[in-house]
Amino acid sequence: MSTICKNIKVIDNELYFNNFKVTDLAKKYGTPLYLMDENRIRENINIYKSALKNYFGDSAMMLYASKACSFKYIYKIMQEENVGIDLVSSGELYTAKKTGFDLSKAYFHSNNKTDFDISYGIENNVGYFVADNIEEVNVIERECAKLDKVQKILLRLTPGIDTHTYEADQTGKIDSKFGTAIETGQALSLVGDVLKLPHIKLMGFHCHVGSQVFEEDVYERTSEIMLGFFSKVKDVYGFDTLEYDIGGGLGVRYVESDSVLNIDKKLKELSDYIKSKCKELNIIVPAFRMEPGRSIVADAGMTIYTVGTIKKIPGYKNYVSIDGGMADNPRFALYGANYTCMVANKMNEPLDFKADLVGRCCESGDIIQKDVMFPSSVKRYDIVAVATTGAYNYSMASNYNRLPRPAVVMLKDDKDFIVVKAETFENLIQNDV
């Protein structure tokens, strides 16, 4: 039995997720269906919250990177937990605003904010822009000047760090599309330009080096470069960096072979490193920000499907088809992401049948996972559960093949309730003229 998530267990051949029998939820709501475990989301938040408070002090704050999973109820949880949020678009801002989220705790990212994004953010009193480049800063300055308003910003820098994860998951290398490079001297001159602008209040610096990070010292190596830069900026401009935002990226386990991360321990070590380095460089210790997305919601999610066709090609390979696929989970199609897949109503049977778990879209690349071991009795109407789908699944879903997006059901204590309704056919054509 898989031990991939803390919130799953097996009783009498049946899979349970946060104490709910998965096949009961499939009967009640239909499939495909996204399940989310609110208890788990809050536990994950609290791992960060308490570690940040214990090791970085009261000035530290967690920002949930809401692109990992964005719908109204998620922002309500973040508001209740009193954490900040990252936004990467005006659509995310609108969603957060509609729940009454306090946008002074919102950080507006993106490597290419449009003029609309910038005006919309300012109009809605977003706490911070995390500006990627001088063009954006100039537009923020121009718009704030019109309103005679001063806007807080962080500058996104590229520290030139290789996280040794997937190419698509790397964002901190010098040649990245994100941020301004430190090594080329561009970051230092950018700071000089920004400090001259009367309607911009530069609070500090941001970086985000990648995702699915497990490697031991990535955040220390990143901090060495960032803090070195803070010290340089102090020498050149007399500027004290008040905030240091190290981004997100801590890895989660999708399959048994993924390592286990101890977030608390990692943050303690990082805090020790930052404090001693600041002392060595004789700079103030900035207020610390961390922006986890995946590690807050990934293991709080599970997607369930109904098995349809089983195709066996003797001497070649086998397929198990389900009633969802790349439209609700494009991550294998995009970058070969790993997942643990289970037959929820046959959990104790031996796994002796190898097949690709594939979707119903008209693409050969519509695969959830290759080479999955199933019980050989797997057949039409069985329920397949794919674990750890809380991050970058619902938020990346599409209507490809005009498939309506599935509902999201939240599980909290002994209650299950819909937080995003399933799309209807009518929803599919609502904007068609």
Ligand X SMILES: *Cc1c(COP(=O)(O)O)cnc(C)c1O
Catalytic residues: 362
Q: Does 158 bind ligand X (CB under 6 A)?
A: no
The CB-of-5 to ligand X minimum distance in angstroms stands at 17
Give the x-and-dash track for 275-314 against ligand X (CB under 6 A): ----------------xxxxx-------------------
- Residue 127 in the binding site for ligand X (CB under 6 A): no
Q: Is 109 in the site for ligand X (CB under 6 A)?
A: yes
Q: Which is nearer to ligand X, 25 or 270 (CB)?
A: 270
Kind of pairing between the strands at 14-17 and 20-21: antiparallel
| Residue 266 sits in the site that holds ligand X (CB under 6 A) | no
Complete DSSP assignment for 140-191: HHHHHHHHT--EEEEEEEE------S-GGGB--STT-SSSEESTTSHHHHHH
Give the footprint of ligand X on residues 59-98 (CB under 6 A).
65, 67-68, 86
**Residue 233 vs residues 192, 239, 298, 413, 420: alpha-carbon distances, Å:** 9, 6, 37, 50, 46
- Determine the Cα–Cα distance for residues 329 and 169; give it in Å rounded to an integer: 17
* Residue reference for tokens 């497990």: 214
Of the candidates 105, 113, 208, 346, which one interacts with ligand X according to CB under 6 A? Answer: 208
The 10 Å Cβ neighbour count of residue 98 is 10
Note whether 360 binds ligand X by CB under 6 A.
Answer: no
- Per-residue tokens: 23: 């096949």
Give least dist CB 413 to ligand X, A. Answer: 26
CA distance 169 to 2: 26
Shorter beta-carbon distance to ligand X: residue 206 or 360? 206
Counting contacts by CB under 6 A, is residue 243 touching ligand X?
no
- Give the residue with the Cβ less far from ligand X, 70 or 303: 70
Among 248, 286, 301, 406, binds ligand X (CB under 6 A): 248
Please identify which residue in 44, 211, 340, 388 interacts with ligand X, judged by CB under 6 A. Answer: 211
> Count of residues binding ligand X (CB under 6 A)?
16
Structure tokens at 96: 């957060």
Among 247, 301, 325, 375, binds ligand X (CB under 6 A): 247
User: Which single residue is written with the structure tokens 């803390």?
Assistant: 6
d(CA 176, CA 183): 13
Q: Which helix (H) or strand (E) holds 198?
A: none
Please compute Rg for the chain using Cα positions. 23
Work out the end-to-end distance of the chain between its first and last CA atoms, rounded to an integer number of angstroms.
Answer: 51
Query: Would you tell me which residues interact with ligand X (CB under 6 A)?
Result: 65, 67-68, 86, 109, 208, 211, 247-249, 291-295, 391
